Amino acid sequence: MKRREFLWQTGALAAGGLLVPQFLNAASREPIGLQLYTVRSLLEQDLKGTLQKVADIGFKNMESAAGSKGHYYGLKPKEFSKMLKDMGMKLRSSHVKVGYNAGSNKPKNETLTYDLQKLVDMAAEAGQDYLTCAYLDPHERTKLDDYKSHIELFNRAGEACKKAGIKFAYHNHDFEFVPMDGQVPYDLLLSQTDKDLVKMELDLYWVIKIGKDPLELFRNHPGRFAMWHVKDIDRTEKRFFTEVGNGTIDFKPIFAASKTAGMKYYFVEQDITPGNPMDSITTSYRNLKRILA
């Protein structure tokens, strides 16, 4: 065990392919999830029919993203959760935005800045596990003080979620890893948010594309990465989105570290697909099942 721990801590366990089978098997036992942003256009056309097709593919865990009809696609939170449950699926998380410094242009949908308690109450009504900040708009991250303001908000959100019996999380892109005034914003988010109140949803595509190692993040901040977005990097010079298993990311060592990361749920996501999103998520589902077998 001492030799294995040393190899893992130095990264050699992952790099050399010396996977810990029980860790990979444990990760594969958690059902594959889907971030519904991937099929957003289809949901706008036919909510129930699209969700049934998602269920038929085999997805079990869902993460919602607000559409033109609101956070729960025109339904009450409990109604949306029941629709999923009736199809054999479970709402685990919903994506929301900060809505920072919007002034007179208050966002149409509820945001953390203006509607924190309402969002928490909606999430609790839906019976989901996490309320997740999806993204920072460009005007919400112009300076380091913006991040410091968000950190204060995220800690408050985490406390409000805890009181409601749910959890709060933050989903990254790549810009959080670009140094600003000599500091890396993502490091600030990790170090200055309460680790017990604010978890991270790690988007593997963006982390790896910008040159960071998710395994190093897991080792340095064990237990912090409760959710993952699983999507692949294509083999072109652009390094664009592609279906899981069709690109360059080696997912096996990442999933082998799921226990260290603290991963509870993972969601397939593909922001842009080359054709029908259903074809892409079907490919990702089948490939991911093979990778985790």
User: Does residue 38 lie in a domain region?
Assistant: yes
Half-sphere exposure of 288 (CA within 13 A, CB side): 30
User: Does residue 39 lie in a domain region?
Assistant: yes
User: Does residue 162 lie in a domain region?
Assistant: yes
State the pLDDT at residue 26.
60
User: Does residue 6 lie in a domain region?
Assistant: no
Low-confidence ranges of the chain (pLDDT < 70): 1-28, 102-104
- The DSSP annotation for 189-200 comes to HHHHS-TTTEEE
- Non-local (6+) Cβ contacts of 55 within 8 A are 87, 88, 89
Q: The CATH number of the domain where 150 resides is what?
A: 3.20.20.150
User: Does residue 19 lie in a domain region?
Assistant: no
User: Does residue 107 lie in a domain region?
Assistant: yes
8-18 confidence digits (pLDDT tens): 334 444 444 44
| pTM listed for this prediction | 0.91
- Taking the C-alpha atoms of residue 19 and residue 236, their distance in angstroms, rounded to an integer, is 28
In 3D space, the residue among 259, 265, 149, 145 whose CA is nearest the CA of residue 200 turns out to be 265
What value does the CA radius of gyration of the chain take, rounded to a whole number of Å?
Answer: 19
Domain that holds residue 207: 33-292
User: Does residue 28 lie in a domain region?
Assistant: no
Q: How many structural domains are present in the chain?
A: 1
If one counts every other C-beta atom within 10 angstroms of the C-beta of residue 240, the result is 16
- Non-local (6+) Cβ contacts of 291 within 8 A are 244, 245, 251, 252, 255
Tokens of 185: 């914003």
β pairing state of 241-242 and 265-268: unpaired
Residue pair 131/167 in contact (Cβ under 8 Å)? The answer is yes
State the pLDDT at residue 107.
82
User: Does residue 243 lie in a domain region?
Assistant: yes
